[in-house]
Amino acid sequence: MTNKVSSKTIADFGKQWTNYTENTGYYASVNVLDDLFGPLIDKESISGEIIADVGAGTGRFVKMFHELGAKHILALEPSSAIDILKENTRHLENIEYLQTTADCLPADNFNLIFCIGVLQFIPEPLRALKAMGRALSPNGRLFLWVYGQENNRVYLSLVRPMRLIAARLPHPCLAALSSLLLLPANLYSFLCRYISLPLAEYMRNYFTQLDQYSRKLVIYDQLNPRMARYYQKEELQKLLEESGFSDIQMHHRLGYSWSVLASYKGS
């Protein structure tokens, strides 16, 4: 069952990234990294490093890491979007591509491994995290970003029932639904400027900075996957420790998700 869920989730994202191939505006800017990293890491520290991007999608973060001066980037993407990834980054040097899952990441002594918005979709996260830990250099670090359960109760009560149906829709229908939901999402984000509603911090400081194409993509992204895990802080801490990580630092990003920086001591 786990392999079946994993295969379907990979196929879901392959469908998503082969239909939404562009990265535009704020969504594609290195300023997003400041938002994701928070106090955990300085984006300038990427310069000169050998890094891996686990779940590279269409190459959004690969481009950012290259712009910031990464020495070498392994872009790992298990889905059919690998072709889009290659096309979007073909003009960049020092990029290596690998079409496989996170648990098969080669142990190549990376200085930094980034797993941004990926772990929550992996049915067996322990295997993936151990592989990422083994792939780090002795002084290497893992940066991880996942959905958080804290402050998301109201949102999850709405999106989970919708996802049961939406994740099974063909792309044209899901794209149409995402377009339909864009108007109320825009209205909600406007209200969040003046009223302290659920997810107001996220809406004010992230969603409102996106162009309309990127906003629709974000909506599609929330409805598309068949499974998505929302981690509590203690649960995530325990998972990382069981995977062999130490020196775990956590940042509650925009009040709805978790950014993590950790070292690997072995398991």
DSSP state of 258: E
Q: What is the pLDDT along the chain (267 residues), one digit of tens a residue?
A: 467 668 889 999 999 999 999 999 999 999 999 999 999 999 999 999 999 999 999 999 999 999 999 999 999 999 999 999 999 999 999 999 999 999 999 998 999 999 999 999 999 999 999 999 999 999 999 999 999 999 999 999 999 999 999 999 999 999 999 999 999 999 999 999 999 999 999 999 999 999 999 999 999 999 999 889 999 999 999 999 999 999 999 999 999 999 999 999 876
Task: Give the whole-angstrom CA distance, residue 168 versus residue 245.
Answer: 36
Query: Using an 8 Å Cβ cutoff, are 120 and 232 in contact?
Result: no
The amino acid that residue 210 corresponds to is L
The predicted structure's pLDDT at residue 74: 98
Under 8 Å CB-to-CB from 194, ≥6 apart: which residues?
none
The predicted structure's pLDDT at residue 2: 60
Q: List domains and CATH numbers for the chain.
A: 2-149+229-264 (3.40.50.150), 155-223 (no CATH)
pTM (2 decimals)?
0.95
